[in-house]
Structure 1
Amino acid sequence: MGGTHSPPDRARTMRRTATGLLLAMAGLFVLSGQYLGLHPAVGYVRAFAEAAMVGGLADWFAVTALFRRPLGLPIPHTAIIPENKDRIADTMAAFLQDNFLTPAVVARRMQDMNLARAVGEYLAAPAQGETGARLRAGAGELLAEFLESLDPERLGTQVRGGLKSLAAKVEVAPLLGQMLTAAIADRRHLPLIDAGIRWAGLTIEANEGMIRQMIHDKANGLVRWTGLDERLANSVLDGLYKLLAEVLVDPSHPLRGKLDEGLSKLANDLLHDADTRGKIERMKNELLDNPAVATWWIGVWERIRAGLIKTARDPGGSLGGQLGASLGELGRVLRDDPRMQLQLNRFARRTAVGIATRYGGQIVRLVSETVRRWDARTVTDRIEGAVGRDLQFIRMNGTLVGGLVGVLIHAGDTLL
C-alpha cells in the first residue's frame, strides 16, 4: 500500500540519513579549513565539524560492530550479535522464563485482571452493526477453517470408533422392548403396521412376474398345458391384494390382532427373554463391525462437515444469526454476573498458572532452540530491522553532540 514502509525500509532510510550527515560534516571540515583566516567564527565551525566527524565515526563503528565487522576487518569484539547468537538465544529464553512464565509471576499479573468481564463487554457490545457482523463472520470463518483443517477420514473414523464403543456398552434389546411396549400401549404402532401393509402390497406388485414364474415352475405339465397355472397365479395375486386391502381398511381384522399379539410377544421377549436379547446384541455387534457401515458413516460425516462449513461461511444465514445471538447473550452474562466472573477468572488464572508450571520450560526451550536454528544472517537482519532505526538516531545524535562538544573545547582553548 502507498505510504507504508516496513521496518527494514525505515532502518535503511535512517542509515542513509546518518551517513549523509557524517559526509556533510566531513565536507564542512574540508571547506572551513580553506577559510580559517577569514573570520574567528570559522574556527568554531571547523571545530564543530571535526568533533562531529569523530563522534559520528565512533558511533558508526559502535553500531556497525553490533551486527557485522566494520569494513570487513577482523577487529576483536565486533559482529557481536552473529558471534553470540546462541548466547543471545539462551538469554532471551531465560528472560522470558524469569519475567513471564514462572507460576508466581503469572498469578500476580492475573490477580487484578477481570478477564471474564472484559471478554463479556466485548461480546455484548458488538451485538449490532458492522462490528457485530465482523464478529459473526470471524466466528463463522474460524469454525469453517477448523472443520477444513480436520482430516475427514481420520476424524470420521474416530467419531465412529467413539460411537461404536458407546453403542457396544449399551444393551439395546431392553430399550427397544420398552419403546415397543410404550408404542403398543399408546396405539402408536398402528401407523407402522399400516405402512408395513402398504409396503407388502407394493412389493408384491413390483414382483408379480417373479411370483407368476414361481407358480408356473411349481405346476406340473398338465396344469401348464391347460393354462391353469396362469389362472392359479391370478387367483393367488388377487387373493393377496384383497387380503392386504381388507387388513388395511378394517381396524378389527383378525390378522391385525395376530400382528398385535406378535409385536406384544416381541416386546416381552426383548425385555425378559435372554435368548432374544442375546440375538439382538449379536446383530448389533455384527452391524457395528460391518465395513459397509464404516464406509456409510464416513460419507455421512463428510456431508455433515461440508454442510457445516458452507453454513458457517454464510454470516447472514441461520448459523451466523445464531452465532451472533449466542455470543451476545454470553457476553451479557459475563458482563453482568459477578459470580460467573469470579469463577471464570479463577479458572483462567489456574489454567495459566498450570500451563506455566507444566509447559513453561518447554516454551522457553522452544524459543531458545528456534533462535539457535536461525542462521547468523537471519538473526542479524531481524534484530537490525527491529531496532536499526533507533540505532541510526544514535549515530546522528553522536554526530551532533560531538560537534557541540568540539565547539565547547575550541571555545575553552581560545578564551583561556
Structure 2
Amino acid sequence: MAGKARYTAAISLGVMGAGFVATMPFLDIPWVRFVQSGFEAGLVGGLADWFAVTALFRHPLGIPIPHTALLPRNRQKVTSALVKTVEEDLLSKESIRGKLEQFRIAERLLDGVMRQIGTDPFKEGIRQAAVTLLESIPKEKAAVLLEREIRKRLDRLDAKQVLEAVVGIVYEHKYDEKAFDFVLELAEQWTLTAETRLRLGAMAGQAMSRMQTNGFMQMAINAFLGFYSEDKLGGMIQQFLLSALYDLKRSGDSNRAALLKAVRQRIDGLTQDPKTEESLEQWKQRLLSQWNLAELSAGWVEQLHARLLEWVREPDFAEHYIVPLLEQGARRVRGDEQLMAKLERWIQEQLNRWIEANHSKVGALIRENIDRFDNETLIKLMEDKIGGDLQWIRVNGALCGFLIGIILEGLKALL
C-alpha cells in the first residue's frame, strides 16, 4: 500500500513539473498563464510536502540539512513519548482495571467451564489426567508411608480403651443377650435328641446307683431304678431341662436376668483386671512382631493401585463419576450470588496485584521491541505502516497547490 501511494505521489509531482515546463513557452496566452500558475504552485506544494515527509525519516537527497531526519535523531524522545502515552493514557492502570471490572470474569470463567464439562474432549481429558496421576504415584513410597502409619496407630492403641469400646458396643447392641440366647438354642437342640435323652437317663441311673445310703433308702432307690428305665428317667430329666431352657429364653424371667447380670459382671470385671490389660498389650506386641507389615502394605498398595487404574480406565468413568460431581458443584457455585461475588472480588484483587506489579513491564516491552531494531529497519517498518498515508500528503499538497495557484492568478487578474 505504501509503495502504491509513493508511486502516486511521484506521478502527481511529475505531472506538476511537466505541466509547469510545458506551459512556459505559451505564457502570452491568458488561459495558459492561469494553468501555468496552478502547475507552478502545485510543483512548489508537492516539493515542499516531499521535503517535509522525507525529513521525518531521513535527510532529503542525503544532504544533512538541519532539522531533518527527525525520527532517527529523536528516536529516544519518540520512544519515551510512545511509552508514556501507552502507560498513562492508552493502557493506564485505571483503564485496565475499569475494563476488567466490566467483564465479570468469575461468571465468564464458570460459564465456560460448565459448557466444556459435558463434552467428549473434556471427559477424555479427565480420564487421561486420572490415569496419569495414578501412574505417577510412587507405590514404594506409598507402601512405606502406609506401613509407618499403621505401625504408629497400633503402637498408640490403648488395649484397655479398645476392650472398653468393644464391651460398650456389646451392651449397646445387646450382643451378650444374643449370645446367651444362641447358647440356649444350642442347648435346647442338644436336649431334644433321643441320644441325649438316653445319655441323661444312663448318667442319672449311674449316679443314683452309686449313692451310699442306709438300707431302707437303698431299697427305695433300687426299687425306683427298677421301675424307671434309662429311657424314662432320661425323658423326665429332658422335660425338666427343656422347661428350664424355655423359662430362661423368656425376657421377663428372673433367672435369665440373674444369669445375664452375672455374665455382665464377669465382663466388667475383665475390663478392670490389670492382667487382662497386660495380656491384650502382649498380644498386640506379639501381633506387631509377627506381622510383616512392609510386605502387607506393599501388597495392599499394589492391589489398590491396580483397582483404581482399572476403574479410571473404564470408558464411562468420567461421565458417571466425575462429570456429575463437577456439574453439581458448578451449578451450586453459579447459583450462590454471595459466593460468586466473593469469587469475583478475589479474582479482581489478584488481577489488580498483578497489574500493579507488572504494569511497568508494558512500557519496558514496548521500549525493548523498539530498541531491537536499527534506524533503517525501524524507518522501513514505519514507512510500511504509515508511509502510505504520509505519501498522500504529497499528493494533496500538489493538488491543493495547483488549485491555490489558479485562484491566486485569478485574483491577480481581477485586481
With structure 2 as the length reference, what TM-score do the two structures score? 0.49
> Which structure's CA Rg is the greater one?
2
